[in-house]
Chain A
Amino acid sequence: MSARIWKFLSSAKLAAILIASLAALLVLSFLVPQKDIMPADQMAEWLALSPALAWVVLTLSLDHIFTSWWFLVLMGLLALNLTLCTVKRIQRRGRMHSAAPTSTPEHAWRAHVPLGPDALVDELRQVVPSAVVAESESGVTLAIRRGDAGFWGSVLMHAGLIAIMVGGVVSAATTFRGEMLLAEGQSVPDAAGSYLSVSALPRMGAGFGDFTVGMKRMTAEYEGNTVVDAVALMHVTEGGAEKDVKARVNYPLKVAGKSFLLQNSGHAVQLTVLSPERQILFDSFVNLANASPQGFTDTVNAGDLAVRLTSRPDASVPLNEPVRRSLAMMDPVVQVELYRNAQPLGAGAIKPGGSQDFEGYTVVIGDVRLWTRFLVRADKGLRIIYLAFAMIVVGIVLRFVDPDRHGFAAVSPAGGGSEVAVWGRTRYSRVPGREQRRLMNRIQTLKEREAE
């Protein structure tokens, strides 16, 4: 019973079924929108098209195929099957190495050479000195075995595939996903409260580390009106040591296993609102969250007051003209509109360090800086995945540069000379391998020499 289970689990047939199922799922994932990729509102719209279809999709978890339990079972089975197939191959090759061929196959290349078997074998051994010679009643067999690197390359490649699946599991268990917003000059500890949002905490190990991260300065370089480079000068304090590190898009800040990936930026305005009685109604930095052609905008509430802020990087550009280089801070100005109970109290443009009165209320703009949004990621499976990629690529290269092959030459006495058959036992091809070709060439030369 266990032998039958082993045979089934290690069969190429099961591999074919599992891979075909995986392929079918991949096609299905293209046809059925996946909620990980599609925005929630579009997803809801799609599901509303047909309640019956929506029921099927939701019941079978087809809207998140790659995180469904049955997909994980499929991948688990595939990992097991790949492991067993690889073990089986190693065992089979060991047997193949130790087994001498018992017969000459029909497709073997044959020739008659007017040389005695011993002389012919000596000649052939000069071509392939490493050949193992086996004598039998019918004659002599030379066995050439090559392609160890190719064989182990194939094993390495399959091991790499298994490692990818292992890496995926480790990633799922250890990943940290968060978003952090830092304004220039701001520094925060790596703690839950410092994040804009945390969407995934590791199931194993700590989610936060003992360090602080800050952004000293953010600069954006333009070509025309397009950002071509953006650099955040970061400040990190970890274990008593402090350092400044630059972070760019594609080149994240890496600290204590976490990567801070620079995403986008906007304006942060230091706003203070005073009442007619000089009481402080609002005093904080405001990260303006919305980008508009007029600049970065947002509205903050302070009691029954609402302050609408629009920050522009260059005061010399008229208000009715759209902002072109929004992150290039030249001579910033903030357009302020003040409302009380939705009734406008006034509007005006204030530069950093300036203030303006609106029917007794004072609005002070302390400073205008850049904020930057970072995706924060930690993933202990990443190194396994990268190692797996390397294993796969190196494995494929080895597999095809030095394919696993067995070449044979069987020499037997015949008609005053020798009958020789040359063939290969590679699955790669029936086209002769390098050693077979060299043997065949030598035999051909010997025939011609003897004929002369």
Chain B
Amino acid sequence: MSLEALLFWVAAVGYGVATLLVASGLAFKKERLLSASTWVVVAAFASETLSIVARWTTSGRLPYVEDYENLLAGTWAIVLVYLIVVFVWPKTRAIGVVVLPFVLLSLGFAMTLSSDASPITPPYRSVWLGIHVMFAWATYAAYTAAAGLAIIELMKSRKKPLSEDSVLKNTPNIERLQELTFNMVAFGFLVNAVMIASGAIWAYELWGSYWRWDPVETWSLLTWLAFGFYMHARLTLGWRGPRLAWIAVGALFGVLMMFWGVQFAPTSYHLFRDLGGTMQMGGPQ
């Protein structure tokens, strides 16, 4: 087993343990388990970072080319934002109940796509692609954190009052949670826009078309519209409370489709295994 693979496995196991700790903390009302989960995530995150560095060192390039690399770096970005949120607002640790399973499943999926790092082919040699991919990671991270915060809000705003020993008692009040969710959505909305714009510019320079209604393009637009609706519902229509939180949670489906759904699309320019075909061998069509 290579060092990169070993570090990857340590990270995956770490996120698995942290997921169990968060779930147990919420189920058994133990604040200490939530606290412990954060430190386990820190350790797993360090291992994942080293795994990325190991791949980077081996291939001599940033890991953004293959599906496996995108999942690896994408989950890294999601955990980074998660850690920033929980260190800045420690009371929000419970969002791990959404973020960590998402990360764990993504890494599990990445394992099925794992491959040795290959040289970077001409279609991937673009500044715009680099920007596109980095902003895609930031988008996934922001929206996942927003959905996590919205879930806590939903759990806290149930009709049945929280028991005295519930760990959710220690989370920020609902108004504060709404603010944090909104801020995360706003950030996600911005980076999502940059992701779409940079992807369009790259697509034009590579394929001569800035928009082709490709399934991933379509889902990223849908997600952007869904979070745009979230913001209009709050700012223009004055919505508050669970129905707004449900939009933040529901719109995460779009992120799932962008992140994983492409694999099930009949055809897509975002299937990285297909893209490498350009500039190798081929005939006039």
Closest CB-CB distance, A390 to chain B, in whole Å?
A: 8
Min Cβ gap B246→A in Å is 15
Known: A262-B279, A377-B208. A181 touches B226 (CB 8 A): no
A133 located at the interface, meaning its Cβ lies under 8 Å from any Cβ of chain B in the complex: no
| Inter-subunit contact B213/A23 (CB<8 Å) | no
Complex Cα gap A190–B158 (Å): 68
Q: Which of A223, A263, A265 has the most CB of B within 10 A?
A: A263
A264 interface contact, C-beta 8 A: yes
* 9-residue interface stretch from A286-294, A351-359, A413-421: A286-294
The verdict on A442 contacting chain B, using a C-beta distance below 8 Å, is no
Task: Report the Cα distance A56→B107, complex, angstroms.
Answer: 41
Count chain A CB atoms within 10 A of each CB in B182, B189, B206, B229 and give the residue with the most.
B206
CB-defined contacts of B119 to chain A, threshold 8 Å: 223-224, 226, 228
Cβ-defined contact, B282 with A249, below 8 A: no
Interface size in chain A (residues, C-beta < 8 A): 74
Task: Say if the beta carbon of B157 comes within 8 Å of chain A.
Answer: no
Closest residue of A by beta carbon distance from B237? A12
Q: Which residues of A contact B225 (CB under 8 A)?
A: 19, 22-23
Contact with B along A362-393 (1 / 0, CB 8 A): 00000000010101110100100110011011
Q: A29 vs B280: C-alpha distance in the bound complex, in angstroms? A: 31
Q: Does B113 contact A (CB under 8 A)?
A: no
A229 to B280 alpha-carbon distance, docked (Å): 10
**With a CB–CB cut-off of 8 A, which chain A residues contact B235?**
427-428
Give the residues from 323 to 378 in chain A that come closer than 8 angstroms, CB to CB, to chain B. Answer: 326-327, 371, 373, 375-377
CB pair B206–A250 under 8 Å, yes or no, is yes
Residues of chain B within 8 A (CB-CB) of A196 are 284
> A389, B197: Cβ atoms under 8 Å?
yes
Per the bound structure, the CA–CA distance linking A265 and B122 in Å amounts to 13
Fill in one digit per residue for B209-220: 1 if any A CB lies within 8 Å of its CB, else 0: 111111100110
Determine whether the beta carbon of A29 is less than 8 Å from that of B284.
no
Bound Cα distance A177, B208 (Å): 8
B256 touches A (CB below 8 Å): no
**Are A19 and B229 within 8 A (Cβ)?**
yes
Find residues 172-192 in chain A having any chain B CB closer than 8 Å to their own CB: 177, 179, 181
In the complex where A19-B225, A393-B190, A429-B179 touch, is A252 in contact with B267 (Cβ < 8 A)? no
B101 beta carbon closer than 8 Å to chain A: no
Choice from B205, B228, B281 contacting A250 with Cβ under 8 Å: B205
- State in angstroms the CA–CA spacing of A250 and B196 once bound together: 17
Let me know if A60 is at the binding interface, CB within 8 A: no
List chain B residues, Cβ under 8 A from A39. 267
Main secondary structure of the interface of A (DSSP, over half): mixed
| Bound Cα distance from A12 to B239, whole angstroms | 13
* 8 Å CB interface, B156-172 against A: none
The reply to whether A249 and B215 contact each other, CB–CB distance below 8 Å, is no
Contacting pair A37 B175 (CB below 8 A): no
User: Which residues on A sit within 8 Å (CB–CB) of B212?
Assistant: 36-37
Report the bound CA distance from A251 to B122 in whole Å.
Answer: 10
Q: How far is the CA of A393 from the CA of B196 in the complex (A)?
A: 10
Question: Distance in Å from the Cβ of B187 to the closest Cβ of chain A?
Answer: 8
A444 within 8 A of B: no
Identity of the chain B residue whose Cβ is nearest the Cβ of A396 in the assembled complex: B190
* Chain B residue contacts of A179, Cβ below 8 A: 284-285
Q: How many A-B residue pairs have CB under 8 A?
A: 168
- A residues 10-31 in Cβ contact with B at 8 Å: 12, 15-16, 19, 22-23, 26-27, 29-30
Beyond A37-B214, A382-B210, whether A290 also contacts B229 by CB under 8 A is no
CB distance from A126 to the nearest CB of B (A): 29
- Segment 47-90 of A: residues with Cβ below 8 Å from B: 65-66
Neighbouring B residues of A396 by C-beta, 8 Å: 186, 189-190, 193
A262 closest partner in B (C-beta): B279
Judge if B123 is at the interface, Cβ distance under 8 Å: yes
| Cα distance, A16 to B210, chains bound together (Å) | 26
CB proximity to B under 8 Å, residues A279-299? 287-291, 296, 298
> With A and B bound together, what is the CA distance between A377 and B268 in angstroms?
21
B120 contacts chain A at the CB level, 8 A cutoff: yes
CB of A431 within 8 A of CB of B186, answer no
Nearest opposing residue in chain A for B183, CB measure: A400
Nearest CB of B to A395, in Å: 9
B194 at the interface (CB under 8 A from A): yes
Q: How far is the CB of A188 from chain B (nearest CB, A)?
A: 14
Q: Say if the beta carbon of A42 comes within 8 Å of chain B.
A: yes
Q: B268 to chain A: which residues have CB within 8 Å?
A: 37
B83 contacts the other chain (CB 8 A): no
Measured CB to CB, the closest approach of chain B to A285, in angstroms, equals 13
Taking a contact as CB atoms under 8 Å apart, the answer to whether A29 and B213 are in contact is yes
A373 / chain B contacts, CB cutoff of 8 Å: 282, 284-285
Residues of chain A within 8 A (CB-CB) of B123 are 249-250
Question: Cα distance A36–B235 when bound, in Å?
Answer: 38
> A394: shortest Cβ distance to chain B, in Å?
10
Q: How many angstroms from the CA of A259 to the CA of B210 in the assembled complex? A: 13
Kindly list chain B residues whose C-beta atoms are within 8 Å of the C-beta of A36.
Answer: 212-213
Whether, in the assembled complex, A127 has its beta carbon less than 8 Å from a beta carbon of chain B, the answer is: no
Which single residue of chain A is at the shortest CB-CB distance from B182?
A429
Q: Which of A16, A42, A66, A430 contacts B213 (CB 8 A)?
A: A66
15 A–B pairs (Cβ distance < 8 Å), ordered by A: A12-B237, A16-B232, A30-B215, A66-B213, A168-B211, A179-B284, A226-B118, A248-B125, A249-B206, A263-B278, A264-B283, A266-B283, A291-B283, A392-B197, A427-B238
Can you add 12 more A-B contacts, CB < 8 Å, to A12-B237, A38-B267, A375-B208?
Answer: A30-B257, A37-B267, A39-B267, A65-B213, A177-B208, A227-B122, A229-B125, A264-B283, A266-B284, A377-B204, A396-B190, A400-B186
6 closest Cβ pairs, A-B complex: A289-B283, A291-B281, A249-B122, A389-B197, A377-B208, A264-B282
